[in-house]
Each structure stands twice: as structure tokens, then as C-alpha cells.
Amino acid sequence: MGKIILKGLEETEEFGEKLGSLLKPGDIVSLIGDLGAGKTTLTKSIGKGLGIEDYITSPTFTLVNEYKGKYWVYHFDVYRLDNIEELDDLGFDEYFYSNGVSIIEWGDRIEKFLPKEKINIQIEKGKELDDRIVTIFGEGNRLEELVKELNIN
């Protein structure tokens, strides 16, 4: 749907903040990328754009952290998820279908359990150390609106 090259950490943070400022209740953001690609860094800047003042950390051992900004934000990290039953025990669908914003690191690992309409963001390392290549794709009107508002080709 759209691709952007972010030059350095500052551009990555600006992109995340702008994206966060545009997100609405019910939006689901699935972050995809290798270890060290910048999923947590992007999540922190999205959170800043959503008005979160707390320090955002990756919920590696708890699966989900909750933050209050202009909306509730549910930050998942499913990297260490051993089996899908853990998500059921957590009541994950209540988060995804709530009036909050869900951000899922390693979302591709639970793709079949996520709603069809979501914002997928693939993050890859660029040529320079802090450069990132960000590809946004998925289905739905919200995705189209965001791509247009973010000015991504």
C-alpha cells in the first residue's frame, strides 16, 4: 500500500508520533520485522503521538502493557508466546475489539487471530545504521485514510 524510507532515529520518531496522532479507537497496528528492526522504538513514538506520558517498555514477559493517553493503548509483544492458548487466557479479543488502540509487536506470529482490518507495518533496517524502511499494508478504509494522511506512496 505504501513505503517510506526513514533517515535516522529522528525521522523514525517523527513518523511514529504522526501515526500515533492519527490513530483512533479500535485501530489495530501489527508491527512486523526482525529483532532489532525498531518495533519497540516505533511503538514508543506512536505512544507519544497518542499522548502517553508513561515510559513505554516492551511487554516481553507479560504479553501486554496498558497505557492511558488520549485513548487506552494496549501494547502486545508476542515474540515469546509459546502457544496461542496464552492469548485466549488473556482475553486478547476483548482488547482488539475495544475502544482502545492495540499495537502488536510480532503481529505476523498471530496473524490468523487478528481482525482482517488492521494496519500492518513492516520495518526493515536500511543502508545506514539508524535508517528504516517502513512498508504499510493491509485491508480496510482506515488503512487507506492513514496512508493518505501520512502522505505515503
Q: pLDDT tens for residues 95-125?
A: 888 999 999 999 998 888 889 999 999 999 9
pLDDT tens-digit series, residues 52-89: 999 898 776 778 899 999 999 999 988 877 777 667 77
Ramachandran quadrant class, 135 (left: phi over 0; alpha: psi -120 to 50; beta: rest): beta
Does position 5 have pLDDT exceeding 90, yes or no? yes
Its pTM surpasses 0.85: yes
- So what's the pLDDT on residue 71? 95
